[in-house]
């Protein structure tokens, strides 16, 4: 048995935890998707109130795009797919893109 050999155990572990990056769900303007449909989507999928849904819809109409919400990537992706599915089922070509914030 060796003497004089000490083993030091560092029982403190440092964690570097970072907040997840956020992603914007952006709806794009087109000539066929009705504004009322977009307002309803913003209320149903993104839980906006009537007035904010109307404001975002006007942004989409006037500038070509509008931010529907900001989420972690997984949630943003899910909401994007949900919007595309609902729009396609109604025959509308509404496009969605995700953009890192």
Residue 21 to residue 43: CA distance in whole angstroms = 24
Run of H or E residues at 78: helix 73-89
The CATH T-level fold of domain 28-93 is Ribosomal Protein L30; Chain: A, (3.30.1390)
**pLDDT of the residue at 33:** 97
Task: Give this prediction's pTM.
Answer: 0.82
Domain regions of the chain by residue span: 28-93
Q: Please, what are the averages of pLDDT over each run of 10 residues along the chain (101 residues)?
A: 66 78 97 97 98 98 98 97 98 97 92
**pLDDT of the residue at 7:** 75
Q: Are 98 and 73 in contact (CB under 8 A)?
A: yes
């Amino acid at each position: 048995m060796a003497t004089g050999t000490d083993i030091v155990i560092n029982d403190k572990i440092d964690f570097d935890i970072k907040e997840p990056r956020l992603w914007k769900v952006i709806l794009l303007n087109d000539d066929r998707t009705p504004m009322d449909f977009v307002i309803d989507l913003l209320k149903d999928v993104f839980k906006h109130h009537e007035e904010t849904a109307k404001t975002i819809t006007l942004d989409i109409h006037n500038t070509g795009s509008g931010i529907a919400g900001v989420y972690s990537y997984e949630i943003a992706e899910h909401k994007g797919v949900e919007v595309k599915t609902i729009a396609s089922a109604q025959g509308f070509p509404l496009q969605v893109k995700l953009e890192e914030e």
